[in-house]
């Protein structure tokens, strides 16, 4: 039986080692080694619990060069090496935001080479004939009154899918964390779309599945993991991020979780109950022939308007 002092000074898992991380919502105090081990185990449990990946999947990991996606690449590379029939490659897209992506793209190339993961790259310019900088400078962008992220987000999602399919992926893995997933459900609630579909879970249908192995991992733990295993990542954020609707929700949720530890897990549980089993009926976009819930998909509609 640990004494009260031991509980505060010794790692909750190994009873040894210097404590470097305190999981407030669970009460665990962890040394570096046990933090890394429990972090990676949680990802494996998440994949198994939700059936996110299969033993013979060809996984396209969407990598931006930030801490979340580079951490995901590290963890999935470790997991994939235990499954001989599984394959992994990284996919990265340059949105064409001047002065922002260059460093991130370099970090993605370095990490992929170090981990010996094949890397495929493309850009908005190649896929759509547009860049975010050009879009934002156009008068049509101003007329639309949309935020940069509400254009960039769907364009990037589709570009990743196109590239992943081009290279034979059976699933796309994204680095969305617990925080991101709860933010997305809340965004859906504010758009009147809550319950219309599940977020970051595998579903059958014509669309390439997109899964989020970090869905039960808080963002701050991903940051700590990246520092713990010394992953170099891009530290400055996109200049357009502060204006997004997601950013307002992120600020609110971060503050709420600090005051009420464990609230994000509880919110996810509620959202999952509401969305369970709901999948959008998909048809095929008349222009690009990609799966879509509309006659013309959102991306083709945006590209047509902006060109
Ligand atoms: Fe695109 Fe917005 Fe992300 Fe910047 S913050 S890369 S504009 S989605």
CA distance 187 to 184: 5
DSSP state, residue 250: H
Could you read off the pLDDT of 267-303 as tens digits, one per residue? 999 999 988 877 777 888 999 988 888 899 999 999 9
Give tens-digit pLDDT for 118-144: 999 999 999 999 999 999 999 999 898
Q: What is the pLDDT of residue 1?
A: 53
Measured from the Cα of 241, ligand 1's closest atom is 5
> What is the pLDDT, as a whole number, of residue 276?
82
Q: Splitting the chain (307 residues) into consecutive groups of 10 residues, what average pLDDT does each group show?
A: 66 91 94 97 97 96 95 96 94 92 91 97 96 93 90 95 96 97 93 81 86 97 96 85 86 96 96 82 87 89 90
Q: Which atom of ligand 1 is nearest to the CA of 244?
A: 2
Task: Name the residue of 93, 95, 133, 141 to mutate for ligand 1: max ligand atoms within 8 A of Cβ.
Answer: 95
Report the nearest-CA residue for atom 7 of ligand 1: 149
Question: What is each CA distance from 20 to 28, 67, 224, 259, 275, in whole angstroms?
Answer: 11, 19, 10, 21, 37
Contact call for residues 184 and 264 (beta carbons, < 8 A):
no
Cα–Cα dist 121/166, whole Å: 11
The pLDDT, as a whole number, for residue 124 is 96
Q: Whose CA is nearest to atom 8 of ligand 1?
A: 149
Nearest to 35, CA basis, from 307, 218, 281, 241: 218
**pLDDT for res 245:** 83
Q: What residues contact 268, with CB distance under 8 A and at least 6 apart?
A: 178, 181, 182, 185, 215, 216
pLDDT digits (tens, 9 = 90+) for 47-60: 999 999 999 999 99
Report the pLDDT value the prediction gives residue 292, as an integer from 0 to 100. 86
CA dist., res. 68 & res. 8, Å (int) = 29
Q: Are 132 and 148 in contact (CB under 8 A)?
A: yes
């Amino acid at each position: 039986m640990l004494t009260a002092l031991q509980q505060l000074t010794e790692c909750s898992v190994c009873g040894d080692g210097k404590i470097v991380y305190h999981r407030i919502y669970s009460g665990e105090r962890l040394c570096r080694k046990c933090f890394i081990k429990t972090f990676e185990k949680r990802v494996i449990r998440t994949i198994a619990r939700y059936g996110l990946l299969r033993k013979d999947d060809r996984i396209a990991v969407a990598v931006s060069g930030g801490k979340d996606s580079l951490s995901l690449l590290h963890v999935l590379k470790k997991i994939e090496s235990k499954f001989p029939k599984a394959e992994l490659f990284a996919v990265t897209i340059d949105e064409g935001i001047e002065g922002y992506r260059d460093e991130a793209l370099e970090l993605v190339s370095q990490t992929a080479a170090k981990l010996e993961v094949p890397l495929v790259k493309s850009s908005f310019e190649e896929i759509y004939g547009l860049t975010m900088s050009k879009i934002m400078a156009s008068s049509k962008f101003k007329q639309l009154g949309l935020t940069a992220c509400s254009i960039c987000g769907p364009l990037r999602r589709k570009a990743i899918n196109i590239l992943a399919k081009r290279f034979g992926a059976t699933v796309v893995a994204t680095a969305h964390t617990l925080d991101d997933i709860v933010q997305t459900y809340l965004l859906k609630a504010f758009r009147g779309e809550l319950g219309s579909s599940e977020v970051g879970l595998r579903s059958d249908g014509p669309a390439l599945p997109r899964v989020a192995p970090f869905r039960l991992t808080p963002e701050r733990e991903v940051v700590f993991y990246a520092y713990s295993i010394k992953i170099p990542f891009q530290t400055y954020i996109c200049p357009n991020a502060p204006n997004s609707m997601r950013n307002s929700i992120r600020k609110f949720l971060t503050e709420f979780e600090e005051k009420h530890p464990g609230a994000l897990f509880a919110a996810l549980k509620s959202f999952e109950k509401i969305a369970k089993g709901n999948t959008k009926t998909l048809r095929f976009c008349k222009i690009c022939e990609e799966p879509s819930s509309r006659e013309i998909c959102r991306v083709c509609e945006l590209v047509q308007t902006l060109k």
